[in-house]
Chains A and B, each alone.
Chain A
Amino acid sequence: MAECVECGADVPLHNDLESGEIIDCATCGVELEVIDVNPPVLDRAPELEEDWGE
């Protein structure tokens, strides 16, 4: 469990968490980036850049 940096709600985390992964806060809907996994640290995810894609 980690705290959403946007709304402060508890965000459940799964076991295979990876830094760089994006998870959604179910309470406020903001996208959060996993900055670190041990212990878990979350921050607001960066906006998509124009040239992001497959």
Chain B
Amino acid sequence: MKIGLLYSRIRKDEKLLLAELRDRGHEVTKIDVRKETFDLTDAPATFENLDLVVDRCLATSRSLYATQFCEAYGIPVVNSHETADICADKVKTSLTLAGAGIPTPATKVAFTTKSAMEAIESFGYPCVLKPVVGSWGRLMAKIDSKSAAEAILEHKATLGHYEHKVFYVQEFVDKPGRDIRVLALDGEPVAAMARHDDHWLTNAAKGAETTTFELDSEAESLVEQASDAVGGGLLGVDLMETDSGYTVHEVNHTVEFKALNEAVDLDVPASVVDWLESTVGMEVMA
């Protein structure tokens, strides 16, 4: 296949994918989206004759627009713009998961510091305040007291950017020192790891320890449901364990898998390329 890989930064994840694709003889065109201009109807020259585009843009805005352009040009793209649009925004993700009946942390959204404080007080302490866009645990706040809430809200008001005016407040889930990352291909779990940390944030990007994790049928079912709800594709579904079962708190549409690849015996990039070849490739041939 002729595969375009959209990027603005090549991480280890992209290097693993590139190596696997090239080893199998696929013709790979790396497309640095910073260098492109996107016409409304005519695809840039770098997109010519591509069978498939794989979106690995690190910047969410670039990912969202670039996937939309690919679809406008009639080029299959992984993941779809619909999936990216839902997963890139925590509000849209939460609404989608809740709408599909998938357990997800209780969440409230407010647009002013006054109403945000009301949302925080309704949860009590601790609770969590998150930016609606972003990853790697950045700007996530666990709020332990009213005075901490007041300080954080004042800071966000002072920071000024409009995204700081959308307050995404969530119940604090007292997970057992770990959460679970599942890599799924159209809802089918490929590999899973637990991310352990004494810190309340258990992101691998923040240095959490990772170990392989065996999914039970409940978790597998939730991963499939979450994937279906957001439109499927190559996804990282994050689960937390609670007293009443799992809760799905995040679905990542440009999933990083280098930590997972090291935590499990499976060759993760090989599985991803298997899927690209079998599922997406067959669609292209049809």
Contacts and interface: CB of A to CB of B under 8 A. Distances in A.
Interface of A: 16, 18-22, 33-34, 45, 49-54
B55 interface: no
Contact of A52 (B10, B18, B60): B60
B215 to A, nearest CB: 20
B89 to A, nearest CB: 10
B61 interface: yes
A19 B32 contact: yes
A54 B30 contact: no
B176 interface: no
Interface string B28-53: 00101000000000000000000000
A21 B61 CA distance: 20
A51 B59 contact: yes
Contacts of A21: 9-10, 15
B19 A16 contact: yes
How would you classify the secondary structure of chain A's contact residues: helix, strand, loop or mixed? loop
Nearest to A20: B10
A54 B256 CA distance: 6
Nearest to B138: A53
11 contacts: A16-B19, A18-B10, A18-B18, A21-B15, A33-B9, A50-B161, A50-B163, A51-B60, A54-B135, A54-B205, A54-B255
A33 B34 CA distance: 13
A19 B18 CA distance: 12
B136 A20 contact: no
Interface of B: 7-11, 14-15, 18-19, 30, 32, 58-61, 133-136, 138, 161, 163, 205, 236, 252, 254-256
Contacts of A34: 10
Contacts of A54: 135-136, 205, 236, 252, 254-256
Nearest to B63: A51
B10 A53 contact: no
B49 to A, nearest CB: 21
A19 B60 contact: no
Nearest to A35: B32
A50 B10 CA distance: 18
Given A16-B19, A18-B18, A20-B10, A51 B133 contact: yes
A50 B135 CA distance: 10
B205 A20 contact: no
B19 A52 contact: no
Contact of A53 (B15, B18, B134): B134
